[in-house]
Amino acid sequence: MSTTISGAAQAAADATTTAAAGKKNTLGKDAFLQMLVAQLKNQDPLNPMDGTAFVAQLAQFSSLEQLQNLNTAMGSLPAYFDTFANAQMSNLIGKEAVAEGNVIKVSGSSAKIGYRLPSDIQSGEIKIYNAGGVLVDTLKIGSQRGGLQNITWNCSGQTAGDYTFEVAAKDKNGKDVPVDKLISGTVSGVTYQNGVPYLIINGIETAFSSVVAISQSKNT
């Protein structure tokens, strides 16, 4: 038996295909079903569609519908994962965090300054600036191994507030060594800006993407 679509059915199919092409050149399940119905309506009664071919087309329609339903379900996964990840952020409250940054919160007689060395250094210095950008202190660094480092700054003579710091270092050959500046402290809260989570570390809002280490609080 022939499976040829009649002229009327072909015209309907062409119109449906053209409409589908206008939508990113994709054939949706509705357009597919319209083509199938048009084919049934306009088939030659003396030469009807082969039953096997008809079943095959129904199977194609079923597969197309399942794929579109799957695409719809997959499209909602990113939002689900974002919601799940954001909910997990609350579990970080009370934890100790180390993150990229160069802000020092001064509220007492001492403050910890952290940084990360990519390799061993022979010497270096830390320059500390107040909120107005004025240099208030310079700390010398001796030979240190690569990795996470920290130094305690005696800030007893400084006014409470936010300070910033810069670190310069040289290796044994006198070449400059790039240094990653870090802040550390207990996570006291979580905020969201445009859907992006920020941890509050020592009163400083820090993007979660800048966090380099999380550990259990020493007080727990």
Task: Kindly give the confidence (pLDDT) of every residue in the chain, 220 residues in length, as a single tens digit, with 9 standing for 90 and above.
Answer: 444 444 444 544 454 455 444 444 555 556 666 766 666 666 655 555 555 565 565 566 566 566 666 566 566 555 544 555 566 777 888 899 999 999 998 988 999 999 999 999 999 999 999 999 999 999 999 999 999 999 999 999 899 999 999 999 999 999 999 999 999 888 998 888 887 888 999 888 898 889 988 888 766 5
Query: DSSP 3-state assignment of 30?
Result: helix
- Structural domains in the chain, CATH included, are 7-75 (no CATH), 92-215 (2.60.40.4070)
Q: How far apart are CA 185 and CA 204, in angstroms?
A: 10
- 130 and 97 Cβ atoms separated by less than 8 Å: no
Q: How far apart are CA 166 and CA 164, in angstroms?
A: 7
Per-residue tokens: 182: 């870090």
Q: How far apart are CA 49 and CA 51, in angstroms?
A: 6
Per-residue tokens: 33: 């079903």
Query: DSSP 3-state assignment of 84?
Result: helix
Which residues are 185's β-sheet partners?
97
Q: How far apart are CA 64 and CA 33, in angstroms?
A: 10
Q: How far apart are CA 180 and CA 157, in angstroms?
A: 27
